[in-house]
Amino acid sequence: MEYVSDKRFPLDAKDYKLYEEVGEGVSASVYRALCIPLNEIVAIKVLDLEKCNNDLDGIRREVHTMTLINHQNLLRAHCSFTAGHSLWVVMPYMAGGSCLHIMKSAYPEGFEEPVIATLLHEVLKALVYLHAHGHIHRDVKAGNILIDSNGAVKLGDFGVSACMFDTGDRQRTRNTFVGTPCWMAPEVMQQLHGYDFKADIWSFGITALELAHGHAPFSKYPPMKVLLMTLQNAPPGLDYERDKRFSKSFKEMVAACLVKDPKKRPTSEKLLKHHFFKHARPVDYLARTILDGLSPLGDRFRMLKAKEADLLVQNKALYGDKEHLSQQEYIRGISAWNFNLEDLKNQAALIQEDGMPNASSKKQSEKDEDVNFPAEGAAIEMENQPNAAPDQEDGFNDLHDLDSSLASFPIKPLQALKGCFDVCEDDGSATSPRTIVQENGRTEGETSGQSSYLPRHVIPEPKKFLSGSVLPDGVLSPKKVIGDGERDHLQLKHQPERNFSGPLLYRQKGHANNPASAEDMSEGAVVQRKGRFKVTSADLSPKVHMNKEFIIAMCSACG
Ligand SMILES: Nc1ncnc2c1ncn2[C@@H]1O[C@H](COP(=O)(O)OP(=O)(O)OP(=O)(O)O)[C@@H](O)[C@H]1O
ipTM computed for the complex: 0.96
Beta bridge partners, 98, equal 146
Structural contact between residues 258 and 206, judged by C-beta atoms closer than 8 angstroms: yes
Q: How far apart are the first and last CA of the chain?
A: 54
Structural contact between residues 397 and 218, judged by C-beta atoms closer than 8 angstroms: no
Q: From the CB of 266, is ligand 1 less than 6 Å away?
A: no
Rounded to two decimals, what is the model's pTM? Answer: 0.63
User: Which residue, judged by its Cα, is nearest atom 19 of ligand 1?
Assistant: 25
**297-330 per-residue burial string, b: 16 or more CB within 10 A, e: under 16:** bbebbbebeeebeeebeebeeeeeebbbbbbbbb
Structural contact between residues 415 and 551, judged by C-beta atoms closer than 8 angstroms: no
Note down pLDDT in tens along the chain; length 559 residues: 444 456 899 999 999 999 999 998 767 899 999 999 999 999 999 988 776 655 666 666 666 666 677 899 999 888 888 888 888 989 999 999 999 999 999 999 999 999 999 999 999 999 999 999 888 888 899 999 999 999 999 998 765 444 444 433 433 344 444 456 888 888 888 766 767 899 999 999 999 999 999 999 988 888 778 888 888 889 999 988 889 999 999 999 999 999 999 999 999 999 999 999 999 999 999 999 999 999 999 999 999 889 888 887 777 776 655 555 555 444 443 333 333 444 444 544 544 433 333 333 333 333 333 333 333 333 333 333 434 444 344 433 333 333 333 323 333 333 433 433 332 222 333 333 222 223 333 322 222 323 322 233 322 333 322 222 222 223 223 333 334 444 444 454 444 333 333 222 222 333 333 333 333 333 323 333 333 434 333 322 333 232 333 232 333 222 2
Phi, psi of 153 (to 5 degrees): -115, 130
pLDDT value of position 433: 29
Q: From the CB of 76, is ligand 1 less than 6 Å away?
A: no
Active site residues: 139
Q: From the CB of 159, is ligand 1 less than 6 Å away?
A: yes
Rounded-to-integer distance, Cα 242 and Cα 511, Å: 55
Number of H helices, E strands in the chain: 19, 14
pLDDT value of position 188: 80
Angle between helix axes 297-318 and 322-331 (nearest 10 degrees) is 170
Structural contact between residues 235 and 374, judged by C-beta atoms closer than 8 angstroms: no
| 3-class DSSP state of 485 | helix
Rounded-to-integer distance, Cα 382 and Cα 258, Å: 13
Rounded-to-integer distance, Cα 185 and Cα 137, Å: 12
Structural contact between residues 31 and 481, judged by C-beta atoms closer than 8 angstroms: no
Ligand 1 atom closest to 157 (CA): 18
Q: Give the closest residue to 372 by CA, choosing from 336, 403, 410, 401.
A: 410
Return the best residue to mutate from 22, 104, 532 for the ligand 1 pocket (most ligand atoms within 8 A of CB): 22
What does DSSP say about strands 135-136 and 79-83: parallel, antiparallel, or unpaired? unpaired
Ligand 1 atom closest to 143 (CA): 29
Rounded-to-integer distance, Cα 525 and Cα 549, Å: 14
